[in-house]
A and B are shown apart, each in its own frame.
Chain A
Amino acid sequence: DTEVTQTPKHLVMGMTNKKSLKCEQHMGHRAMYWYKQKAKKPPELMFVYSYEKLSINESVPSRFSPECPNSSLLNLHLHALQPEDSALYLCASSQGPNSYNEQFFGPGTRLTVL
């Protein structure tokens, strides 16, 4: 199984809502990532988890809160988002946190903030 799955595929939320994005992989990978991608732009790294510990936070606003409950799951909790946070949110995983390890990306969650 070389797949990273993400749910939901689409999410529309108001600025006062609380929602969560979920990501799962069963490849035994020990590094997992959240990226944000705006239309016609490259992915921007948000967070890296290495062996279930947060190792990188790219100065992401606190309205985004990551969680890694176990080695297969990664969540992104969303609260009080702004319309400019509308984007495609991509999850990825790799065997280890070193960038030589291929990152496998999920299909993303398309988020719209009204």
Chain B
Amino acid sequence: QQQVKQSPQSLIVQKGGISIINCAYENTAFDYFPWYQQFPGKGPALLIAIRPDVSEKKEGRFTISFNKSAKQFSLHIMDSQPGDSATYFCAATYSSASKIIFGSGTRLSIRP
């Protein structure tokens, strides 16, 4: 029940295309869903986050879609650029907790 399942494991997208990463969770008590971006040799950095009372959140080219009834959420990267090539982790947590439950990660490569 503590798991967050993430797919795909790796993704190759042409420059200018849309990158889509999907995640699913079981525990309905989770109330905060962040996405992290990690470049090689760096620590993860918070990219965008959503709470379950909202179905979509957009920040620039990055959009989270959230389906509470299906217990699924996804990250869409519009107009993908080579600089977006990184590993992306979805995550889930409780507002009262310190621990973040990470998905397994998606290695995204954007072809020029």
For chain A, give the interface size range: 20 to 34
How far, in Å, is B23 (CB) from chain A's closest CB?
12
How far, in Å, is B59 (CB) from chain A's closest CB?
13
B binding-site residues for A, Cβ under 8 Å: 32, 41-46, 89, 93-100, 102-105, 107
How far, in Å, is B45 (CB) from chain A's closest CB?
7
Q: Which of B32, B45, B103 contacts A42 (CB 8 A)?
A: B103
The total of interchain contacts (Cβ-Cβ below 8 angstroms) comes to 57
How far, in Å, is B52 (CB) from chain A's closest CB?
13
Given contacts A41-B104, A42-B89, A42-B105, contact A98 B96 (CB under 8 A): yes
How far, in Å, is B49 (CB) from chain A's closest CB?
8
The interface-forming segment of A14-22, A76-84, A102-110 is: A102-110
